[in-house]
Structure 1
């Protein structure tokens, strides 16, 4: 997996609570990435086996909104993402975990 800044932002947001599934708009808010950047990253992470994606089972009419697709890191994704982010932070210490936005997303 090529570690770009958008990939790092998405991984950091998902690693903040790996058991908590996140949907697209939630990830856009956490990372500050636009949908045109976020969704290709999510697609790449899924193709690499680092991410699962499942549609929620709701009645869109009753809920008053479309069904959401929830994303969660796989066990392999968690194992691979942690050292990859640590290596990136070691290369750019001024952008480490203490430099985060008010939303909790990395400031990369």
Structure 2
């Protein structure tokens, strides 16, 4: 899975409460992503097996709204997401510039 910023945002929200089902508008609000960005991410995560999606069973006429599609990480998806985000965090930590003028360890001596 390619970890773009939108993917990281979605995974972070879903991992914050992995047992909670989220619907699209809820995810849009929590990630600040527009629908044109969010739904392709959800589709990719579902295709990778990291996410499951199910329609709620309601009568739209009774509820006064259309049925929502709820998304939740699969067990494998939650494990893979945690690992991917941990690896990304480690890469970012290792890539931070050294402050104070000293050469980073392993820097070439020119």
- TM-score band by shorter chain is 0.7 to 0.9
Compute the displacement of 1:39 (Å).
0.2
Distance 1:13 1:31 in 2: 7
SS of equivalent residue, structure 2 residue 52: strand
Q: Whose relative contact order is higher, 1 or 2, with alpha carbons under 8 Å and at least 6 apart?
A: 1
Q: Which residue of 1 aligns with 2:76?
A: 76
Q: Does 1:5 align with 2:5?
A: yes
RMSD, aligned CA: 0.9
Distance 1:11 1:58 in 2: 27
SS of equivalent residue, structure 1 residue 67: coil
How many residues align? The count is 93
Larger Rg: 2
Q: Which residue of 1 aligns with 2:52?
A: 52
CA displacement, residues 47-87 of structure 1 (integer Å, 9 cap, x when unaligned): 00000000000000110110000000001101100011112
Q: Which residue of 2 aligns with 1:28?
A: 28
- The normalised TM-score by structure 1 is 0.83
Distance 2:24 2:74 in 1: 17
Q: Which residue of 2 aligns with 1:96?
A: none
Q: Which residue of 1 aligns with 2:65?
A: 65
Q: Which residue of 1 aligns with 2:91?
A: 91
Structure 1 gaps, min length 5: 94-108
Q: Which residue of 2 aligns with 1:40?
A: 40
- The normalised TM-score by structure 2 is 0.82
